[in-house]
Amino acid sequence: MTSARTGAPRRPDRVCLLSVHTSPLEQPGTGDAGGMNVYIVETATRMARRGVAVEIFTRATSSDLPPVVELAPGVLVRHVVAGPFEGLGKHDLPAQLCAFTAGVLRTEAHQEPGYYDVVHSHYWLSGQVGWLARDRWGVPLVHSAHTLAKVKNSALAAGDSPEPMVRVIGEDQVVVEADRLVTNTDEETRQLVELYDADPRRTVAIPPGVDLARFTPGDQAAARRALDVPPDAVVLAFAGRIQPLKAPHVLLRAAAELIRRDPALRSRLVVLVAGGPSGSGLAEPTALQGLGSALGITDVLRFLPPQTRDGLVDVYRAADVVAVPSHNESFGLVALEAQACGTPVIAARVGGLPVAVADGVTGLLVDGHGDEQWADALGSVALVPGRRAELAAHTVQHAHRFSWDRTADSLLRTYADAAAESAERQRQAMRAGLAAGMIER
């Protein structure tokens, strides 16, 4: 796929995105919906604005869902029936990959040959489907892992279960087959190369972005009024799925430690937790509330349901500090969104968070998950207005280094390069076949 005029790789006309286990239409912050959903929605809509038709295939989870939904102009979401509509967890889905793949292939079979120019799979389940679609359609497969089983298993949170071997094997297979592996950071690239023996020449780091039009600094007092938070409160916030991997319990324990150190802080402290149970957190959906009660800090806790994108803006603006204490993050979109709103971030020094947060400039990175470590870090910013203002002064500038427009443009270049290489391999194979046939004759 090259431009006849310039000889450069040509941008694709139509892209097939695969998201088997979670739909871009779902609300991030609960179930299996999170940063990957945001990534798919934001990049798809921006590619469509550039004239690229995007079709997203995801598993239908309700009989009420229409077969096709327009997410945005130029972006279609196709619901594929694969297994029962409800009651299937992520770990049950490998058994439904054959049915899902059949649905994807049938859709393409009703179109003219060469309908899709590239397949981009998100998460290993989608990679398995994309691998077969790539071979059937003769187009390149671009794959984004988003999280890696071997990395997660090396840093399990207490009470979390290791990722199953079927996922490890599945990821190994997709890494071998993909024409391009898209990572969020150079660290994720290193993990793929060292843990999965990925070919570094087929791996490209493309940082995610942030919606810079939506996530902006604003009136903290107004945001606090919207959330019914006192204007003079000390506000610590967490936004994300409630599960051991995301470690919201670290924030609660640190808050309890801050109160132990200064009992007078109790009257001013507010801890906002926005999100719903997910993953292994579904087994004990009220465990975080129980921990708050055991720590004696129920009076300072405010549990909010999963927030819309606009609702998150109020959470970020209302906070003095946003905490991202995850045990593993391939990047950490919450950290970037909070900084775009002018709020410093305290994050664990794991995965892509050292890229998302400029340590000592826009926030602080914490080694480990100990109560005292986190209390020290949170207190040194939230309880010291001068330090908070110093960090906040740099957050927006740092966030503006990342945008979904840059991410989408980089993805389109990656698609074009992969397609050009795929076409060249096919030409070479055809020439080799013709030469072999001539020798035989």
In this prediction, residue 391 has a pLDDT band, given cuts at 50, 70 and 90, of very high
pLDDT of residue 4: 45
In this prediction, residue 47 has a pLDDT band, given cuts at 50, 70 and 90, of very high
CA of 149: how far to CAs of 124, 171, 219, 325, in Å?
10, 8, 41, 19
Between residues 280 and 415, which one has the greater pLDDT?
A: 415
| Calpha distance 143→18 (Å, rounded) | 9
On whether 344 is known to bind a ligand per the annotation, the reply is no
Q: Residue 251's domain spans which residues?
A: 220-400
- 325 close to 250: Cβ distance less than 8 angstroms: yes
pLDDT of residue 110: 92
On whether 298 is known to bind a ligand per the annotation, the reply is no
On whether 32 is known to bind a ligand per the annotation, the reply is yes
Q: Are residues 194 and 321 in the same domain?
A: no
- Flag whether 201 is in a domain: yes
> pLDDT by residue (tens digit) across 151-166?
999 887 777 789 999 9
On whether 46 is known to bind a ligand per the annotation, the reply is no
Q: Are residues 390 and 272 in the same domain?
A: yes
Residues 6+ apart with CB under 8 A from 352: 184, 185, 187, 188, 329, 330, 331, 332
Of 179, 206, 233, the domain-final residue: 206
Of 171, 206, 241, the domain-final residue: 206
- Flag whether 49 is in a domain: yes
State the Cα torsion 240-124-60-132 to the nearest 10°. 160
| Calpha distance 336→260 (Å, rounded) | 31
**What is the C-alpha radius of gyration for the chain, rounded to an integer number of angstroms?**
23
Q: Are residues 155 and 58 in the same domain?
A: yes
- Flag whether 180 is in a domain: yes
Q: Are residues 271 and 308 in the same domain?
A: yes
On whether 302 is known to bind a ligand per the annotation, the reply is no
- 291 close to 371: Cβ distance less than 8 angstroms: no
- Flag whether 414 is in a domain: no
φ/ψ of residue 211, rounded to 5: -75, 95
On whether 111 is known to bind a ligand per the annotation, the reply is no
- Flag whether 8 is in a domain: no
Average pLDDT over residues 182-193: 96
> pLDDT by residue (tens digit) across 243-274?
899 999 999 999 999 999 999 999 999 999 99
On whether 14 is known to bind a ligand per the annotation, the reply is no
Average pLDDT over residues 41-58: 98
- 321 close to 380: Cβ distance less than 8 angstroms: no
**What CATH number does the domain containing 339 carry?**
3.40.50.2000
- Flag whether 1 is in a domain: no
On whether 147 is known to bind a ligand per the annotation, the reply is yes
On whether 27 is known to bind a ligand per the annotation, the reply is yes
In this prediction, residue 207 has a pLDDT band, given cuts at 50, 70 and 90, of very high
Q: What's the distance, CA 314 to chain centroid? A: 21
On whether 186 is known to bind a ligand per the annotation, the reply is no
Q: Are residues 55 and 121 in the same domain?
A: yes
> pLDDT by residue (tens digit) across 56-111?
999 999 889 999 999 999 999 999 999 998 778 888 899 999 999 999 999 999 99
The answer on pLDDT for 174 being more than 90 is yes
Q: Are residues 187 and 62 in the same domain?
A: yes
- Flag whether 214 is in a domain: no
pLDDT of residue 437: 61
Q: Are residues 162 and 266 in the same domain?
A: no
Q: Are residues 69 and 152 in the same domain?
A: yes
- Flag whether 432 is in a domain: no
- In this structure, the strands spanning 75-80 and 68-72 are antiparallel
On whether 373 is known to bind a ligand per the annotation, the reply is no
Q: Are residues 29 and 159 in the same domain?
A: yes
Q: Are residues 190 and 281 in the same domain?
A: no
On whether 153 is known to bind a ligand per the annotation, the reply is no
> pLDDT by residue (tens digit) across 110-142?
999 899 999 999 999 999 999 999 999 999 999
Q: Are residues 152 and 276 in the same domain?
A: no
Q: Is 318 exposed, middle or buried (0-12, 13-18, 19+ CB in 10 A)?
A: buried
Count structural domains, the chain.
2
Q: Is 172 exposed, middle or buried (0-12, 13-18, 19+ CB in 10 A)?
A: middle
Of 174, 206, 238, the domain-final residue: 206
Q: Are residues 381 and 266 in the same domain?
A: yes
On whether 152 is known to bind a ligand per the annotation, the reply is no
| Calpha distance 309→286 (Å, rounded) | 24
